[in-house]
């Protein structure tokens, strides 16, 4: 090869190398940009999902505000105010929470305590309800009856999982009778406890209602501020099947009134 040709060859090689580097850089930059936009899309989708959830929770709260509700607050139109309202909704010990009256997804009582009673698992209640339940369990014990806590406070997320499991197992119609949708459970209020006994196999059975332990709480729970929230034959009003195990704390006065009247909480407060 002549010197002149050699020079040309080197220049051509260098040119090719530069071109190759430029191509690699362009490809890499393009790839990064694609990844970045994919991540952004993901983020947006997450944000959207969160917003949708929040919006529906707030909407539910606003929709469920009812003038006849015992501790009804003025209906707020903005999201911010809606959240404040929903917080109050969850705090009242006599507040009705059901299929028409919900609490927000982020509501969590700030005075939850672990229940120091015989239990099938660790569980929590609001302090006032836990103290009252200790009284009820003690009274049962004096009659030779041992009650067990089964499930107290449940977060919105736990309730969502439970409801989804029930839908999968029983279908929507069946699930609606036995499980609250997330945001519609008294368990999220920290004011409800499902109780059971050894005779019920530590399970939640309808037959618990006719067992000595079930009979005892039916006749005595109100003295400690609890009601059997979903009584027998009231499904058309409460929306739930008979649950002799589900105790709801409302305070002694209201519980005694409700017990004496034989009404459901909905009938007592005149709400749907
Ligand atoms: Zn329950």
pLDDT at 150: 97
User: What pLDDT shows up at residue 47?
Assistant: 34
Residue-wise pLDDT tens digits, 186-212: 999 999 999 999 999 999 999 999 999
Residue 197, H or E segment: none
Low-confidence ranges of the chain (pLDDT < 70): 1-91
CATH class name, domain 94-269: alpha beta
The full length of the chain comes to: 272
Q: What is the pLDDT of residue 223?
A: 98
Quote the pLDDT of residue 14: 55
Q: How far, in Å, is the centroid of ligand 1 from the Cα of 76? A: 30
pLDDT in tens, 151-185: 999 999 999 999 999 999 999 999 999 999 999 99
CA distance 99 to 213: 29
The answer to whether 103 touches 183, Cβ cutoff 8 Å, is: yes
Active-site residue 243, yes or no?
yes
Rounded to the nearest angstrom, the distance between the alpha carbon of 26 and the centre of ligand 1 is: 61
The pLDDT value recorded for residue 78 is 33
CB-based burial of residue 129 (10 Å sphere; 0-12 exposed, 13-18 middle, 19+ buried)? buried
Q: Which residues pair with 196 in a beta bridge?
A: 148
Q: Which two tokens stand for residue 243?
A: 């649950």
Question: Token pair 């009256």 is at which residue?
Answer: 101
Spot the catalytic one: 43, 243, 266, 267: 243
Phi-psi region of 201 (alpha: psi -120 to 50; beta: other; left: phi over 0): left
The residue extents of the domains of the chain are 94-269
Distance from residue 187's CA to the centre of ligand 1 (Å):
6
Tokens matching residue 233: 């034959």
Q: Which helix (H) or strand (E) holds 193?
A: strand 192-196
Contact call for residues 84 and 115 (beta carbons, < 8 A) = no
């Amino acid at each position: 090869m002549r010197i002149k040709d050699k020079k040309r060859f080197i220049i051509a090689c260098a040119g090719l190398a530069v071109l190759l580097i430029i191509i690699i850089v362009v490809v890499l930059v393009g790839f990064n940009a694609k990844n970045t936009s994919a991540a952004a899309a993901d983020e947006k989708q997450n944000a959207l999902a969160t917003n949708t959830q929040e919006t529906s929770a707030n909407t539910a709260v606003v929709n469920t505000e009812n003038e006849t509700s015992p501790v009804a607050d003025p209906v707020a139109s903005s999201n911010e105010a809606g959240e404040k309202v929903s917080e109050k909704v969850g705090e009242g010990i006599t507040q009705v929470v059901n299929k028409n009256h919900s609490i927000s997804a982020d509501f969590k009582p700030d005075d939850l305590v672990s229940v120091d009673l015989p239990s099938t698992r660790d569980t929590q209640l609001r302090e006032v309800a836990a103290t009252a339940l200790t009284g009820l369990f003690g009274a049962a014990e004096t009659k030779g009856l041992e009650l067990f806590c089964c499930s107290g406070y449940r977060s919105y997320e736990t309730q969502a999982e439970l409801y989804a499991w029930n839908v999968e197992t029983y279908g929507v119609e069946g699930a609606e009778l036995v499980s609250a949708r997330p945001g519609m459970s008294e368990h999220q209020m920290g004011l409800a406890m499902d109780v059971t006994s050894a005779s019920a196999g530590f399970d939640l059975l309808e037959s618990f209602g006719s067992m000595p332990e079930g009979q005892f709480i039916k006749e005595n729970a109100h003295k400690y501020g609890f009601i059997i929230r979903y009584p027998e034959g009231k499904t058309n009003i409460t929306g739930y099947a008979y649950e002799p195990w589900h105790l709801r704390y409302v305070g002694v006065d209201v519980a005694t009134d409700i017990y004496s009247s034989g009404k459901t909480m909905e009938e007592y407060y005149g709400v749907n």
